[in-house]
């Protein structure tokens, strides 16, 4: 008789998600988008136990073995995924889980060099010093708050200008 087989890629994907959840502050809320266009997870950040609208989006990758070179973990990423994440108003983070090391490496999208738009994919270099097991989530939350405040201020200035122009 034939039965469904769980492919190793599905197990690896689940291991990476479990690893990430285990290292995330427990009061932060994870949402899994039903359709994946480059955003695997949406994270609502609490600030002193309060949800104030700060969000982080995560693109989660996984590999059985490391693909390290000169202190960086390498990960191929579609240009379309990069563009989607870059244009998003929320802060984006790329994480790569390495099963053999039971560790993940991270980089904020703002720190990724812009790719050549003539290509389909490009290589992202995640610093191996950026281990998820030692990440300073307070620093990440502070950065997300800073960016959120800048974007909200710009939106409010624009809305005020539109109201004044129409009066």
Would you state the pLDDT for residue 56?
Answer: 96
pLDDT tens digits, 116-162: 999 999 999 999 999 999 999 999 999 999 999 998 888 888 788 88
pLDDT tens digits, 50-65: 999 899 999 999 999 9
Mean pLDDT of 108-122: 96
Domain boundaries, the chain: 8-166
Structure tokens at 117: 């738009």
> For strand 91-98 and strand 50-63, is the pairing parallel, antiparallel, or unpaired?
parallel
CATH assignment of 8-166? 3.40.1350.10
Q: What is the dihedral of CA 159, 160, 166, 167, to 10 degrees?
A: 150
Using a cut of 0.85, tell me whether the model's pTM lies above it: yes
pLDDT tens digits, 6-17: 677 778 989 999
């Amino acid at each position: 008789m034939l039965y469904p087989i769980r492919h190793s890629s599905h197990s690896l994907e689940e291991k990476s998600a479990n690893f990430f959840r285990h290292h995330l502050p427990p009061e932060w809320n994870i949402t899994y988008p039903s359709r994946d266009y480059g955003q695997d997870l949406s994270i609502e950040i609490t600030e002193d136990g309060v949800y104030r609208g700060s969000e982080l989006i995560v693109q989660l990758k996984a590999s059985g073995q490391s693909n390290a070179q000169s202190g960086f973990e390498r990960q191929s990423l579609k240009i379309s995924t990069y563009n989607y994440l870059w244009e998003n108003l929320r802060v984006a983070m790329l994480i790569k889980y390495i099963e053999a090391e039971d560790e993940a490496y991270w980089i904020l999208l703002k720190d990724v060099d812009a790719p050549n738009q003539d290509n389909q994919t490009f290589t992202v270099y995640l610093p191996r010093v950026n281990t998820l097991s030692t990440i300073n989530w307070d620093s990440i939350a502070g950065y997300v708050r800073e960016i959120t405040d800048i974007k909200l201020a710009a939106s409010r200035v624009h809305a005020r200008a539109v109201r004044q122009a129409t009066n």
